[in-house]
């Protein structure tokens, strides 16, 4: 009889450990980090359809996005869909698109992550050779594959509250595993 009691106690201890581990994993998923699948081609050649990344959900609770951050946010037109884009313009900055080049506060934005020859055109929000000022608390975001990206050129700046988080780590495919670095910019 004592052996059965010990076996039952061991099973309950094991189940309790599993529940604790699962609870911790759910807390991490909800508040700290979550996996995201890249869907579509708006960030090619840097991110490809079917790749998986980890999203840091806590960083923007304590700080603000920076130019070059890869962010995941809720689509402005359908909150059930997540988008991934790169931060181009910060709150209060003046953005201009002229001859396929972004200008921030009158200075050319060098974008080394774009495929050479990428043409950037205006949209219904940001028209060619027109200045816009990014409102307080909002960010101007663009996909790296400009001809195939629905981004702030179309729907305008995104509120920080709509950000899910910052892309932290690519973990699939294994051949491209690594931390996702923010580029350094020189505004000329």
Q: What are phi and psi of 126, to 5 degrees?
A: -105, 105
Distance of CA 125 to the CA centre of its chain: 21
85, burial (CB in 10 Å: exposed 0-12, middle 13-18, buried 19+): buried
pLDDT at 152 over 90: yes
Tens of pLDDT, residue by residue over 27-39, are 767 678 899 999 9
Tens of pLDDT, residue by residue over 105-145, are 999 999 999 999 899 999 999 999 999 999 999 999 999 99
- Whether residue 42 contacts residue 72, with contact meaning beta carbons closer than 8 Å, is answered with no
E-state strands within 66-137: 70-74, 82-89, 94-98, 101-104, 107-108, 132-133
Tens of pLDDT, residue by residue over 47-76, are 999 999 999 999 999 999 999 999 999 999
CATH no. of 34-179: 2.10.109.10
d(CA 54, CA 57): 9
Q: What are phi and psi of 27, to 5 degrees?
A: -65, -45
Positions annotated as catalytic residues are: 42, 85
* Sequence-separated (6 or more) residues with CB below 8 Å from residue 118: 100, 144, 145, 146, 147
**pTM of the predicted model, to two decimals?**
0.88
Ordered alpha helix ranges (H), 28-75: 59-62
- Whether residue 123 contacts residue 86, with contact meaning beta carbons closer than 8 Å, is answered with no
Burial 39-58 (b: 16+ CB within 10 A, else e): ebbbbbebbeeebebbbbbe
């Amino acid at each position: 009889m004592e052996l059965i009691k010990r076996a039952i106690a061991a099973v309950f201890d094991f189940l309790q450990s599993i529940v604790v581990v699962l609870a911790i994993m759910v807390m991490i998923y909800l508040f700290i980090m979550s996996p995201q699948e890249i869907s579509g081609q708006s960030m090619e050649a840097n991110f490809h359809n079917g790749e998986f990344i980890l999203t840091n959900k806590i960083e923007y609770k304590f700080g603000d996005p920076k130019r070059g951050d890869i962010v995941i946010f809720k689509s402005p037109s359908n909150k059930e869909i997540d988008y991934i884009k790169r931060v181009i313009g910060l709150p209060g900055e003046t953005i201009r698109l002229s001859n396929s080049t972004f200008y921030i506060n009158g200075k050319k934005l060098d974008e080394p992550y774009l495929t050479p020859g990428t043409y950037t055109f205006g949209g219904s929000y940001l028209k060619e050779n027109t200045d816009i000022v990014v409102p307080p608390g909002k960010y101007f975001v663009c996909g790296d594959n400009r001809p195939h990206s629905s981004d702030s050129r179309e729907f305008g700046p995104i509120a920080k509250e709509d950000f899910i988080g910052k892309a932290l780590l690519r973990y699939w495919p294994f051949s491209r595993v690594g931390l996702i670095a923010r580029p350094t910019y020189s505004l000329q």
